[in-house]
Amino acid sequence: MGRIFDWIDSRFGVKAPHSRFLQRPLSERINYLYCLGGVAFVLFLCLVVSGALLTIYYVPSQDEAFQSIVRITREVRLGWFIRGVHKWSANLLIIFIILHTLRVILYKAYQPPRELNWVVGVCTLVVAFASGFTGYLLPWDQKAYWATEVGTSMAGTIPYIGKYLLYLLRGGTEVDGSTLIRFYSFHILWLPVTMALLLWAHFHMVKRQGISGGL
């Protein structure tokens, strides 16, 4: 394995630029709670891979979305498994982001110079919730429809901007095929790309500032 990696590295050159970061000494007060962010990142990667596989069979149209989900679950080889991985990773991601946030609060790691990383972190949380909300509509069953109907109606009650926001979210006045396409686009493209950029900034700052030293 080592020889194969060395062969790739001699052509690709990944070892040297990263070894300084990977071999950096850490504070002795670091403990397992510092792994929560890393677990959240692994879950994000699982979501990207399983989601990319689901797009092969999922059809984002109001006539076919529900049937395509039934097909993925019952007929496509390992489709039920990939769907399960996607669902579990999504739920666990939210749990682990919240636990990671609690660790940051407990250790007061939001204080300068890490305040901007806290703000970027809050944005990842918002994007994660938005991804969950948009993904929930995609099975296009009764539960999905009514959850979106209620969720978007709530946005519609915001004073002054609510009416416009409702229209923007639904792509019209009702939850219909336009809403499905809109949510699909956000779920598989805009939100994951935004999340990837936010995580790049998040890790860049962790790398620059080092990890905070514990309680």
Query: Is residue 114 part of the contact set for ligand HEM (CB under 6 A)?
Result: yes
Query: Is residue 97 part of the contact set for ligand HEM (CB under 6 A)?
Result: yes
Q: At closest approach, how far in Å is the CB of 137 from ligand HEM? A: 21
- CA angle at 63 for the pair 62 and 68, rounded to the nearest 5°: 95
Cα-Cα-Cα-Cα dihedral of 203, 182, 157, 163, to 10°? 120
Query: Is residue 199 part of the contact set for ligand HEM (CB under 6 A)?
Result: yes
The stretch among 3-11, 14-22, 29-37, 55-63 that binds ligand HEM (CB under 6 A) is 29-37
Query: Is residue 202 part of the contact set for ligand HEM (CB under 6 A)?
Result: yes
Query: Is residue 54 part of the contact set for ligand HEM (CB under 6 A)?
Result: no
Sign of the dihedral through C-alpha 89, 90, 94, 100? positive
Select from 210, 208, 151 the least CA-distant residue to 179: 151
Question: What are the CA-CA distances from residue 59 to residues 55, 66, 130, 183, 207 (Å)?
Answer: 8, 8, 21, 13, 40
Helices and strands, counts by H and E, the chain: 10, 0
Query: Is residue 101 part of the contact set for ligand HEM (CB under 6 A)?
Result: yes
Binding residues for ligand HEM restricted to 127-146, rule: CB under 6 A: 128
Q: What spatial distance separates the first Cα and last Cα of the chain, rounded to whole Å? A: 39
Q: Looking at 122, 189, 193, 196, which residue binds ligand HEM (CB under 6 A)?
A: 122
Q: Looking at 57, 66, 88, 118, which residue binds ligand HEM (CB under 6 A)?
A: 118
Residues that bind ligand HEM (CB under 6 A): 34, 36-38, 40-41, 44, 97, 100-101, 103-104, 107, 109-110, 114, 117-118, 121-122, 124-125, 128, 199, 202, 206, 211-212
